[in-house]
Amino acid sequence: MFEPYVKKLISKEVLSRFAQVKREMEKIPNVTLPSGDLLSCHMVCRLLSKRTGLEFRDGYLKYHFQHSWLVFDRYIIDTYPVGALDVPILFETEYGLPWGELYSEAKLEVTETDKFKRDMEFLFSLKGEPCGLNS
C-alpha cells in the first residue's frame, strides 16, 4: 500500500501517539450501556483521553453535528468521525488545510445529562482496558 505524503511531514512523536490511540481503540469492547444507547464519539473520546493523556474537545463538526475529538499539538485525532467506517483519522490543521475549520469547540448539553454521566460512570467502572480506571 502506498504511504500518504503527509506522513513524511508528521513527527515520530505524533505518529507514535496516533498509534497509541489506535491500539487503545481496538481494546474498547462492545457493551450495552445502562441507558440502552450505543457508544458515542463523546464517550469514546473521554475513554481514550483517560487512557492516553490526550485532551478531548466537544463541539460541532461543520457547525451542525454534535461531536467530540482528541487534540495533540496542531493535530486533530477524530476517533469516531460522523459517517466514517475506518477510524481513527489524523488531521493536520495548519498550512491552510481545511480540516481545522470543520471542527468548532462548544459546550454540549448531551454531555451534561444525567443519562450520559451514568453511562460514563458505567464505562469507567468496567474492569480491564481501556475503560476501567483500575487497570
Residue 119: the pLDDT is 96
d(CA 32, CA 16): 31
Which residue in this structure is represented by grid cell 460512570? 121
Residue 134: the pLDDT is 40
Share of the chain above pLDDT 70, in %: 93
**Quick one: which of 6, 24, 2, 5 has its CA closest to 74?**
6
**Quick one: which of 120, 113, 111 has its CA closest to 33?**
120
User: pLDDT for 6-56, tens place per residue?
Assistant: 888 899 999 999 999 999 999 988 888 999 999 999 999 999 999 999 999
What is the CB neighbour count within 10 angstroms for residue 24? 20
Give the type of residue at 107: K
What are the residues whose beta carbons fall under 8 Å from the beta carbon of 81, sequence distance 6 or more? 41, 61, 87, 88, 89
Res 75 pLDDT > 90: yes
d(CA 72, CA 92): 10
